[in-house]
Amino acid sequence: MKNKHVALLFSIVLLLQWGCGKKQAVMQDADMAKSYSTITVKLDSVELQTKYPTILKGKEDIDIKPRIDGFIDAVLVDEGAVVRKGQPLFKINSPSAIQSVENATALYNTAKLDVERMRPLAEKGIISKVRLSAYENSLASSKASLDQARATLSWTSVTSPVDGVVGSISFRSGSLVNNSSILTTVSNTSTMIAYFTMNEKDLYHYLNSTEGKTQAEKIKNMPLVTLLLADGSTYGLKGRIETISGIVDAASGSVTVRVAFDNPDKLLRSGTSGKLIIPDFVENVFIIPQKATFQQQDKILVYKVQGDSVVQKVIDARSTPDGISYAVFSGIENGDQIVSDGIATLKNGKKIKVKN
């Protein structure tokens, strides 16, 4: 019996020692976890950027089609060639056009002989002047038909309507083509056009923050646009916003914006993809490091210090161009203190100790 009492007493002592040790360890861990770095937010200004994907087009992208049916005799240019307005691109063999000229020539010659034969008779009064006029009208009609046939024959030479660059050539020598065949495309790339869509919220933001009474004045005063190319490089010349569509698309809630880029060195080609960067200078915002935030259900949150603990705050924020910080528009106030590091170990209502 005595041994049982000794064993029970020994067990109680061990349990008390273990409990005290555990409590002391927990208290030590809690003391270590309470110390966090914080920052005090204050109002600032920053230049933000908004990026929009785009596909560039030439100022004029013109499909080249033959005006007559026939076979391609010769392709006079190569893909990617720089051509001038009026420069021949294709030569077409059109037997029907040649036959039309021959027929019109024969009719014209016949009508001309008739007039030459009848004019002396009319002068002598053998035939009436009315009859001579009929022959002369026939001659004029045949002359017009001949001119039309010759004009049609000239269409066998397909020329460029503008200065530009030749695109892909779909047909080669010997191909049968007609007036619906697209032989190639010539792009006037002296100025490149980039279209992109902007939602209503962004549209009103830019319009309201830009000087001008009318939309035309505001467009004129909008900031220049930067073009980011597909390889990540920046195009050397800035673009100008030229137009904003007057109708908001009911399905997408967006408008179409047109931007023009000068292209003197012909570096840009029609079909080039890229991103348009529009700067946006904003004032009275808070700049905080992104590492001081976390995301939850598509929302951005921070831990605000409140007394000796923290509370979660949802903020309205946009990333700065460097990708390191956020510009905060709402959710926190000037002078608020937020945790700037180690937020992964925090939870709402947790007590903390602020590092000095």
Q: Where in the chain is the domain with CATH 2.40.50.100?
A: 66-92+159-182
Model pTM score: 0.69
User: Per-residue pLDDT for 54 more than 90?
Assistant: yes
**DSSP E strands: which ranges in 100-216?**
157-159, 164-166, 176-177, 184-199
| Percent of the chain's residues with pLDDT above 90 | 59
Residue 32, pLDDT score:
52
Dihedral over alpha carbons 205, 207, 208, 212 (to 10 degrees): 160
Domain spanning 50-58+187-282: which superfamily? Efflux pump adaptor protein, beta barrel domain (2.40.30.170)
Q: Say if strands 254-262 and 273-289 run parallel, antiparallel, or are unpaired.
A: unpaired
Across the chain, mean pLDDT equals: 87
Q: Where in the chain is the domain with CATH 1.10.287.470?
A: 95-154
Task: Please say whether the beta carbons of 118 and 212 come within 8 A.
Answer: no
User: Per-residue pLDDT for 77 more than 60?
Assistant: yes
Band the pLDDT of 89: cuts 50, 70, 90: very high
Four-residue CA torsion sign, 225, 231, 233, 235? negative
Determine the 3-state secondary structure of 155 from DSSP: coil
Give the strands of the sheet with 88-93, arranged side by side.
Answer: 157-159, 88-93, 70-75, 176-177
Q: Say if strands 309-319 and 353-354 run parallel, antiparallel, or are unpaired.
A: unpaired
Q: Which of 145, 16, 157 is nearest to 94 (CA)?
A: 157
User: Per-residue pLDDT for 25 more than 50?
Assistant: no
- Retrieve residue 353's tokens: 């100790």
Task: Please say whether the beta carbons of 278 and 328 come within 8 A.
Answer: no
Mean pLDDT of 293-313: 93
Residue 355 half-sphere exposure, CB side, CA atoms within 13 Å?
Answer: 12
For the domain spanning 66-92+159-182, the CATH number is 2.40.50.100
Band the pLDDT of 123: cuts 50, 70, 90: confident
Band the pLDDT of 197: cuts 50, 70, 90: very high
Task: Please say whether the beta carbons of 165 and 186 come within 8 A.
Answer: yes
Q: Give the Cα separation of 42 and 335 in Å (integer).
A: 6
CA 10 to chain centre: 80
Band the pLDDT of 29: cuts 50, 70, 90: very low
Determine the 3-state secondary structure of 224 from DSSP: coil
DSSP state of 342: -
Q: Where in the chain is the domain with CATH 2.40.30.170?
A: 50-58+187-282
User: Per-residue pLDDT for 230 more than 80?
Assistant: yes
Determine the 3-state secondary structure of 16 from DSSP: helix
CA 37 to chain centre: 43
- Retrieve residue 185's tokens: 């495309």
Q: Domain 95-154: give its CATH architecture.
A: Orthogonal Bundle (1.10)
